[in-house]
Structure 1
């Protein structure tokens, strides 16, 4: 990056952190630290909810996912608007009326303390692991730009986020997220315009999308019903609905965001705002990835997008083999470029025969290009067994830093940093609030002072932040970060949602029945995932339904035994 980009990057980050710290000064109690005194308006709640979900993973991995496999991932969000409606009707008024700090306090009122503690444990485990992945995403950026090991950049990013979250609590998080999302929307628009502008002069937006479509990248809707396909209309509407309902309704990182609303009405409007804007925003991010794919049909892509790992193998004892692979890579690209020009002309003539012929030739060339990459990856692993050989998360970053003008690069890199800071800070804040309210205050210090709980909140914020940084150091082994974090959520969210569904709607089930139902269901979910029995989105439906059915069964069995003994 140029000096201009560095100035834009650091000035933007400094402004965000300083603004959040300034707006959160004067916090003197746990209500202000964890809930921002429940004083935020609806638009603030809505943008904070969006920022918590839209981490750096969204802006790094989503374009890379679209580049590799097309637009199908957008179906993952189709159940979100419906989930926002259900939450606004049922969850929000209950949480506000009970004046809880965390969602899990309600479970003790409805069931017992064991169910509350078990559900809180599931959340802490899932959110702690996921937050580590969100810290790793911006560390990738800094590592790629500075050409240094990602371990050092992970430690730096983690320390930066933990420090301002420890100081300001949820108010610092919410105010920084408000400014972050405003800049992010502007940056996304800039990125989309820039990608289209950089296409060849005779290739506009429409033709670029046609070319991407003929290459299998415009697959936004899949009507098939396949248990093993994670991205179809049905898995998105059904499995995605249960995942989003659990994430926004039971995950404290999100519940804590809309509990800051000044009233039930403001919390509801904030959630509905998220439901309306999230799908178009995600579609736009994926579309940028598809346009990047179209760009690289006319311009030679790197043989490997992770510059740090590529430079390492280029300067190793395998230089000669790498040079051979790069020569073959360029040869395949020139062949593909010739076919792309044929495809462009055939699209103008509406020549279906030529289009089909070209598509087959392009598929053959893609197979050969994949084999070249696999050979390169094998060399990387032979040279360094710890090498990061998945470069999917680097695709958009590499494109931006190689092609965008000075200043714009710094702005877009700042956007990804801010997205990560917002999502990571709110997650760490939620981990601390759950630990303090559901564990420390409930079991360790039941009658402590406000100052003691405030100090404990800051301590646990630091502890969880440190834990998440440690997890981030191992995140490179998880492949595409966006898929990894959603798979991880699907392992727990269905079970957690099932507990809350029973709490809200199944009045006859008691705490003992729902606890054992949750434990059994979680074991089944882990087995189904381990055996690869179905696509991960369906695990959310199975988890929720399993808890409800087993709770009714166990409660019925208990009632029958009591009836016999009486």
Structure 2
């Protein structure tokens, strides 16, 4: 990066962190540290909820996912608006009425202590591991820029986030996210215009979409019932609904965000704001990846986007073989450019026969390019059997650093790092709050002072921060980070959601039945994932886990002595 990029990067990061620290001064009790004294307005709640979900993974992996497999991932979020409505009607007023710190406190009031402990434990496992993945995402940025291994950059990023979170608490996180999301929206808009500007002069918005569309990249809607397809309208509406309902309704990293609202109204408006804006935002991020694909139809695309691994290859005995492959790619690129020009002319003339012919030629050329890419990956493996051969998360970053003007690169990288800082800080804060409220305060030190619990919160924040950094050091083995996080969540969210739905709507089911049902449901979900992952898309694990808890609990309760549970 240039000096201008480094200046923009550091000034942006310093501004955000300083603003958050300033806003979070004078924290003296656990309520202020964990929930910001429940005093934030609706727009702050809404942006904080969005920022917690929109980590660096969103801005790194989503364009790469669109580049490789198209826009279909946007269907993942189709159930989100419905989930926000259910949350506003059911979860929010109950949580506010009880004035709880964590969602799991409610479960003890409704069931018993062991059910509360089980759901809290499931959350801690899932969120602790997924936060490690979130930390790894921005380390890719520094790794690519500085040409060093991701292990070193992971340690640096993790340390910065831990120190910031330990000091600031929820209030610092929320106010930081407010300014952060404003910068992110502006940066994404600028990035979209920049990608279009870099296309050939005669290629505009519609032409770029046509070219990508003829290569199968713009298909965003799929109504098929094919279980081999991970992303369809039905998996998004049904599986996505259950995943989002569980994530926003039972995951403390999100519950903690809207519990900071000054009233039920502010919390509801914040969630509805997220439901309305999330799908358009995700669509635009994916669309940027599609335009990057169109750009590389006119320019030579890297055969492998992880520059660290390519640098190793350049300094190895396989260097000559790699250069031979690059020469073949140059010839293939010229052929593709001519084909794309002819396809554009056919589209302009509305010549259906010629469009189909050129589309087939372009598909064949891209297949040949994929073969060359496979050959490079084979060389990388031969050179280093332990090399990271999944470069999906590097695609957009590689494009930005090689094509964007000075200054703008620094801003885009700052945006990605800010997203990671906000999401990671929220997650670590939620892990600490659950550990303190549901474990430490409930089982270990039941009669401590506010000062004691505040100190414990900071210590647990530090401990979970260290744990997530350790996880992050191994995150490069998980493939596309966006999918990895959602798969991990789907293994736990259905079960947790089932427990909460019973708490709200099945008053005659008691704690013993729910506890046993949750354990059995989790076994079922993991068994399906391990043995039937090729047959069942991961999003379906959410409704399966949820309904398994409900059905099994109803069966167990019938075997036990019936009981009536009064409404909480």
Query: Secondary structure at 1:260's aligned position in 2?
Result: coil
Q: Call closer, same or farther: CA 1:560–1:36 in 2, change over 3 Å.
A: closer
Partner of 1:427: 427
1:365-404 Cα offsets, whole Å, 9 max, x none, are: 2222222211211211221122111111111111111111
For residues 491 and 329 of structure 2, what CA distance do their matches in structure 1 show? 39
Aligned ranges 1:391-430 → 2 under 5 Å: 391-430=391-430
Query: Secondary structure at 1:297's aligned position in 2?
Result: coil
By how many angstroms is 1:560 displaced?
Answer: 7.5
Query: Secondary structure at 1:387's aligned position in 2?
Result: coil
Aligned ranges 1:114-125 → 2 under 5 Å: 114-125=114-125
In structure 2, stretches of 5+ residues that fail to align are 564-568
Aligned ranges 1:42-441 → 2 under 5 Å: 42-441=42-441
For residues 382 and 429 of structure 2, what CA distance do their matches in structure 1 show? 41
Is structure 2 residue 553 aligned with structure 1 residue 544? no
Kindly indicate whether the alpha-carbon contact (under 8 Å) linking 1:35 and 1:260 is maintained by their aligned counterparts in 2.
yes
- TM (norm. structure 2) is 0.98
In structure 1, stretches of 5+ residues that fail to align are 562-566
Moved more, 346-355 or 44-53: 346-355
By how many angstroms is 1:87 displaced?
Answer: 0.2
Is structure 2 residue 76 aligned with structure 1 residue 39? no
Kindly indicate whether the alpha-carbon contact (under 8 Å) linking 1:499 and 1:518 is maintained by their aligned counterparts in 2.
yes
Partner of 1:502: 502
Aligned ranges 1:433-472 → 2 under 5 Å: 433-472=433-472
- Of residues 539, 553, 557 in structure 2, which corresponds to 1:555? 557
- Structure 1 stretches of 4+ with a deviation exceeding 4 A read none
Kindly indicate whether the alpha-carbon contact (under 8 Å) linking 1:227 and 1:538 is maintained by their aligned counterparts in 2.
no
By how many angstroms is 1:38 displaced?
Answer: 0.2
For residues 26 and 424 of structure 1, what CA distance do their matches in structure 2 show? 23
For residues 372 and 525 of structure 1, what CA distance do their matches in structure 2 show? 39
Kindly indicate whether the alpha-carbon contact (under 8 Å) linking 1:136 and 1:475 is maintained by their aligned counterparts in 2.
yes
Query: Secondary structure at 1:202's aligned position in 2?
Result: coil
For residues 373 and 203 of structure 2, what CA distance do their matches in structure 1 show? 28
For residues 499 and 229 of structure 2, what CA distance do their matches in structure 1 show? 27
For residues 27 and 241 of structure 1, what CA distance do their matches in structure 2 show? 37
For residues 72 and 261 of structure 2, what CA distance do their matches in structure 1 show? 34
Query: Secondary structure at 1:537's aligned position in 2?
Result: helix
Moved more, 50-59 or 370-379: 370-379
For residues 256 and 331 of structure 1, what CA distance do their matches in structure 2 show? 55
- C-alpha RMSD of matched pairs (Å): 1.0
1:45-83 Cα offsets, whole Å, 9 max, x none, are: 000000000000000000000011111000000000010
For residues 410 and 230 of structure 2, what CA distance do their matches in structure 1 show? 35
Query: Secondary structure at 1:298's aligned position in 2?
Result: coil
For residues 409 and 318 of structure 1, what CA distance do their matches in structure 2 show? 32
By how many angstroms is 1:360 displaced?
Answer: 1.6
For residues 268 and 40 of structure 1, what CA distance do their matches in structure 2 show? 12
Kindly indicate whether the alpha-carbon contact (under 8 Å) linking 2:212 and 2:293 is maintained by their aligned counterparts in 1.
yes
